[in-house]
Amino acid sequence: MAFENFYQVIAAVKELPPCRLCVASAADETILEAVRDSRKEGLVDFVLVGHEEQIWRQAMTVSLNLQGIEIIDVADPIEATNRAVREVAEGRADLLMKGMVNSSDFLRAVIDPDGGMRREGILSHLAVYEVPGYYRLIYMTDGGLNVSPDLGKKKEILQNAIEFFHAIGMSEPNVAILSANEKVDPKVPATVDAQVLKDMAADELPGAIVDGPTPLDIAVSYEAALHKGIDSPIAGKADLLMVPNIEAGNILGKSLIYFARSRMAGLVLGASNPVILTSRNEPPMGKIASIALAAYSVARNKKD
């Protein structure tokens, strides 16, 4: 379904049976704060993998009651991550979340062909923004993982995102392949890729309305499209903004956060199960919203 804000996501998750979230290398105060706040909301059940003594000590620091939470005592962060990945890969947990472990080590464990969560295709990042004054959540990919994807990788990134939309009940999301303008220009490779992705969408990327190349203003403002005389099926109603590279996504995302005071959640897609990878300075709501979105995408389909 199309959510207007993160509170709607949290409320929707509460109506579904709880998922089981496994935290890799959980001995981290900011992560345990997210565990505490998510438990208060009743979003998911947790299993924490990491140095048990440190988890207990830090839990007391952040006033987290560990009663009813399973703890798997693995001191080394990389070993803890491998164990957490196996918990999900072998079906004992539904979701994976990064704790106090290096991001590259964490993702390496996720895609490990022996015991990991790898499947065909690539991993990609999906950011979700709650923008003050905008009427609903807006999604963006890939501003977090793939640096400069070629056309083949862009297709896989888009496929990951479309599958996520279907998982949350949006059967035909509107996708804007972003560029500086709406005309194809061989001197601007992003516009060429956008046109190819649009052309292949009907046959190779079913379940979405894809248009491109699309300027940002056309994607989010129907008035801008009218003013410019641009006829686009997604004008003013894009659900997903697909950026051409990581620089564009990083700049757009940080502009939304720092200039527009937006709140962001984020997921890694393309593995067998949703993966939550947040930064240490992510505000509490960002972590909770990320957990809620991941849980909703899984729990809703369990119910179905």
Four-way CATH pick for 1-119+271-304: 3.40.50.10950, 3.40.50.10140, 3.40.50.720, 1.10.10.10: 3.40.50.10950
Residue 151, C-beta contacts closer than 8 angstroms, at least 6 positions apart = 193, 196, 197
At residue 302, the pLDDT reads: 79
Ranges in the chain, pLDDT < 70: 303-304
At residue 296, the pLDDT reads: 97
In the chain, CATH 3.40.50.10950 covers 1-119+271-304
Q: b/e string for 179-218 if b means 16 or more Cβ within 10 A?
A: beebebeeebebbbbbbbbbeebeeebeebbbbbbbbbeb
Four-way CATH pick for 126-265: 3.20.10.10, 3.40.718.10, 3.40.50.360, 3.40.50.1980: 3.40.718.10
Q: Which amino acid is at 104?
A: S
Which of 220, 218, 246, 75 has its CA nearest to residue 154?
246
The pair of three-digit structure tokens given for residue 289, joined into one six-digit string = 């919203």
At residue 304, the pLDDT reads: 52
At residue 47, the pLDDT reads: 98
CA 229/CA 268 separation, integer angstroms: 37
Distances (CA, A) of 303 to 13, 17, 18, 47, 173: 11, 8, 11, 22, 22
Asked if residues 288 and 42 have their Cβ atoms less than 8 Å apart, the reply is: no
At residue 74, the pLDDT reads: 97
In the chain, CATH 3.40.718.10 covers 126-265
Asked if residues 241 and 161 have their Cβ atoms less than 8 Å apart, the reply is: no
Tell me: the pLDDT tens digits for 49-94? Answer: 999 999 999 999 999 999 999 999 999 999 999 999 999 999 999 9
| Phi/psi of residue 72, nearest 5 degrees | -105, 115
The pair of three-digit structure tokens given for residue 71, joined into one six-digit string = 């703890």
